[in-house]
Structure 1
């Protein structure tokens, strides 16, 4: 049975709100919660970017049942993989085994802040593969020494890690990332319901492993207002992964999305209060083999009515899938 999740969108909400939303989402009936991990919002109008790991620690304490996940953390520049491993192991213990470490190769938007430049795609993939290897080794609880092309680790050890460490989910967008996810990951993460991603994942050992997708929606009783809100805050979504990964700042996303119209947004993001529209969009993920689908409700000030709608109408309808 498909599990349905809620996205803690750090780019549009302050940390205190995110913790409150996490509790509300659990009460509304969501099965899991994912958190973005950004240093910058996509657009200035979004207005926030609190630390995801600190927030998730509070969420782990405030919730009881929901599974938690980073969606996703980049372990190649802003964080060294040894630090990611320590953070994930700690969160795994605080959540009592409810945490999955979602990893991806990142975006220039967030990683440029450490001043090391932004590597080419091929180099990023090499760095990412090494990072996953290091994190997996540290989860074993022993001392780790590693000398790769991009990373060095000397006598590192996690002193607090569960006997069953957090599963590792890996974000995919093409053949190379699907191969890494299948060989080294415990789950596949994607933002598009493309069956070919799952097929590639299966070819490299992913068969039977979870697949986690994500879908933005803009719920609201006034459909036009919901479209306006989605256009103001989420038009960057139309750029696609290859563009989004390389743009260096919010001004770049604003410029790249200046010709995205409200009609464009309304065609790609379910807006309003039509349950069937959301159900149809979710079904694309289900039909593509995704076992988990996390919803993003656009707009910080719309979360509370979204939870009420989720309990009364949306989740019962989605469970029918």
Structure 2
């Protein structure tokens, strides 16, 4: 049976509200939660982007049982992978047995801020592979200090002292063949944002068979369909973009300018904008049909309490025994 998750969109909410929404999702019966890790929001109207590692500390104290994953952290540019190893180990210590580290190759929007050159996709995937290797090296290093001399990163005399009894799994995000292969060979699971069978197929062929597959479904719910379309267009025009564009644009203003060339109806063809529970249920099932056993729902609007109640009443029962 598929597990249904709730997405905590850091771009839209300050940290304490994210903490409250995590608790609401737990109480409503969601199976897990994922939280985005951004430096900038996608567009200025979203208006937030708190530091995810601080927010996770609050979530650890406000919730009791819901598993939480970063969805996803980029461990390659603005934060060195050795620091991510420490941060994730701390989060896992505060969320014992229920923290998962989701990592990806990142977006220029967040990662260019220190002046780093934004390399092509193959280079970013190689950097991600090395970063995952560093994180595992530091986690599994025992009592000794660790050195690492890679193509992209150097670690000298490093040791992560505070670690959980159970190390968290590392799930790797993929939108193409190279990242899907890396997720299969080096990850404990897959994260993807579209219900494409070629992603799960490549993941399984590369060693991912039997590992968890997490899909992220961006939807917009409101009391009527027109309001859902207006809200989606206001806060989530990025859905109409290609993966390449979303990865390469560097500022929220660029995303806003690009959103100006579409309208509400065009966007509604790309994502579910509906008050009808069946439309949301069918969207989840499209991920299941593509081979995902975990589906995380992101409501792109501001009324998260209303959406959580809607899911508790109309959506989650559909996927329970």
Interval containing the TM-score (normalised by the shorter chain) = over 0.9
Q: Who is 2:52 aligned against?
A: 52
Q: Who is 2:128 aligned against?
A: 128
Q: CA deviation at 1:129?
A: 1.1
Q: CA deviation at 1:272?
A: 2.7
Moved more, 217-226 or 107-116: 217-226
Mapping for residues 73-152 of structure 1, pairs under 5 Å: 73-142=73-142, 143-152=145-154
Moved more, 204-213 or 140-149: 140-149
Q: CA deviation at 1:236?
A: 1.1
Q: Who is 2:188 aligned against?
A: 186
Distance 1:251 1:259 in 2: 14
Distance 2:174 2:268 in 1: 26
Show CA shifts across 1:138-163 (max 9, x none): 11143321111110011111111124
Q: Does 1:13 align with 2:40?
A: no
Report the TM-score when normalising by structure 1: 0.97
Q: Who is 2:267 aligned against?
A: 265
Q: CA deviation at 1:251?
A: 1.4
Show CA shifts across 1:56-77 (max 9, x none): 1110111011110000000111
Moved more, 248-257 or 83-92: 248-257
For residue 268 of structure 1, give the secondary structure of its aligned residue in structure 2.
coil
Mapping for residues 116-265 of structure 1, pairs under 5 Å: 116-142=116-142, 143-265=145-267
For residue 112 of structure 2, give the secondary structure of its aligned residue in structure 1.
helix
Distance 1:189 1:237 in 2: 17
Q: CA deviation at 1:273?
A: 1.7
Is the 2:122–2:178 contact (alpha carbons within 8 Å) kept by the matching residues of 1? no
For residue 236 of structure 2, give the secondary structure of its aligned residue in structure 1.
helix
Is the 2:3–2:31 contact (alpha carbons within 8 Å) kept by the matching residues of 1? yes
For residue 130 of structure 1, give the secondary structure of its aligned residue in structure 2.
helix
* Gap regions ≥5 residues in structure 1: none
Distance 2:269 2:76 in 1: 35
Is the 1:108–1:118 contact (alpha carbons within 8 Å) kept by the matching residues of 2? yes
Report the TM-score when normalising by structure 2: 0.97
Is the 2:96–2:166 contact (alpha carbons within 8 Å) kept by the matching residues of 1? no
Distance 1:251 1:117 in 2: 20
Show CA shifts across 1:18-66 (max 9, x none): 1100000100110100000000010111111111111011101110111
For residue 179 of structure 2, give the secondary structure of its aligned residue in structure 1.
helix
How many residue pairs were aligned?
319
Is the 2:6–2:30 contact (alpha carbons within 8 Å) kept by the matching residues of 1? yes
For residue 13 of structure 1, give the secondary structure of its aligned residue in structure 2.
coil
Is the 1:218–1:272 contact (alpha carbons within 8 Å) kept by the matching residues of 2? yes
Is the 1:5–1:30 contact (alpha carbons within 8 Å) kept by the matching residues of 2? yes
After the TM superposition, list the runs of 4 or more consecutive aligned residues in structure 1 that deviate by more than 4 angstroms. Answer: none
Distance 1:311 1:204 in 2: 36
Distance 2:214 2:236 in 1: 21
Mapping for residues 25-36 of structure 1, pairs under 5 Å: 25-36=25-36
Distance 1:201 1:162 in 2: 28
